[in-house]
């Protein structure tokens, strides 16, 4: 395969590491931005879906999936730092011996922590707007959160693997495309696929859960439910990005990568 997308993924990992080494605070702020951007996507998706949900229209979920694509555009072009994508970029750079594993784990920890902080801040801002107080507006979001908190652990884990595999592809494939139009279309298409398929994304979930928890919610939505969902989903997302993306692409293309390194060194 063409080496350009893999080269871009490696460069992105090294750029992120440079930002981290210059300022941990700046890096965490970028991570906060990413989950706040996802928060914007969550709001527009569930508000759009709710128009269909309140009249029992089966288009509720497809319309939410279609509009959620706004989040990935904000992250890709707005400069956010998302934990789920980092499971791919940093693992790949470490396999290529361009990063050490200690840095990989530090960066994962800081991006995940920043994503949590961003989700909390965004949920607080949404709470203060009063836009989501009415049951006529928040019904669809609370319904989906309630379901997510009751899915068996094993199912959450495997849904999460498939999710991040697909979401990493949504960031990775456009790296080989020319022009912003094709890139944005590809990103939104892949995000639509993950959302409509019912897969589990840890950062999208934490943003959705944070918003649900600050609203007037039923007892079936709880902090215990958050932990029940996020633990297996986070681990599954890590495997999806690190194993099915980074390791798969590294080992499948190793002979080509070795030749490419020789050419670059010559």
Q: Is the pLDDT of residue 265 over 70?
A: no
Residue 113: closest CA among 141, 82, 134? 82
pLDDT digits (tens, 9 = 90+) for 117-145: 999 999 999 999 998 888 889 999 999 99
pLDDT digits (tens, 9 = 90+) for 18-30: 999 999 999 999 9
Averaged pLDDT score across all residues of the chain:
93
pLDDT band at 183 (very low <50, low <70, confident <90, very high): very high
pLDDT of residue 266: 43
pLDDT of residue 260: 64
pLDDT digits (tens, 9 = 90+) for 29-54: 999 999 999 999 999 999 999 999 99
Instruction: Enumerate domains of the chain plus CATH numbers.
Output: 4-259 (1.20.1080.10)
Higher local confidence (pLDDT), 178 or 112: 112
pLDDT digits (tens, 9 = 90+) for 207-247: 999 999 999 899 999 999 999 999 999 999 999 999 999 99
pLDDT band at 257 (very low <50, low <70, confident <90, very high): confident
**Mean pLDDT along residues 193-217:** 95
This prediction has a pTM of: 0.93
Higher local confidence (pLDDT), 4 or 126: 126
pLDDT of residue 264: 66
């Amino acid at each position: 395969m063409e080496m350009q997308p893999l080269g871009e993924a490696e460069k992105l990992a090294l750029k992120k590491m440079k930002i981290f080494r210059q300022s941990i605070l700046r890096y965490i702020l970028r991570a906060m931005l990413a989950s706040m951007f996802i928060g914007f996507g969550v709001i527009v998706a569930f508000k759009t879906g709710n128009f269909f949900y309140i009249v029992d229209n089966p288009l509720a979920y497809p319309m939410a999936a279609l509009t959620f694509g706004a989040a990935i555009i904000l992250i890709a072009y707005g400069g956010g730092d998302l934990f789920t994508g980092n499971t791919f970029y940093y693992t790949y750079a470490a396999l290529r011996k361009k990063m050490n594993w200690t840095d990989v784990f530090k960066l994962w920890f800081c991006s995940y922590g920043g994503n949590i902080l961003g989700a909390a801040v965004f949920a607080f801002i949404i709470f203060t707007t009063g836009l989501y107080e009415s049951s006529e507006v928040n019904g669809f979001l609370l319904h989906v959160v309630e379901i997510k908190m009751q899915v068996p652990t094993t199912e959450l884990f495997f849904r999460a693997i498939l999710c991040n595999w697909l979401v990493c592809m949504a960031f990775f494939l456009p790296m080989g495309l020319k022009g912003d139009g094709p890139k944005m279309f590809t990103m939104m298409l892949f995000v639509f696929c993950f959302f409509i398929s019912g897969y589990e994304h840890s950062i999208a979930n934490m943003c959705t859960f944070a918003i649900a928890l600050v609203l007037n919610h039923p007892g079936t939505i709880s902090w215990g439910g958050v932990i029940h969902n996020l633990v297996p989903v986070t681990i599954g997302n890590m495997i999806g990005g690190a194993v099915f993306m980074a390791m798969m692409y590294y080992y499948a293309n190793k002979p080509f990568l070795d030749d490419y390194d020789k050419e670059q060194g010559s």
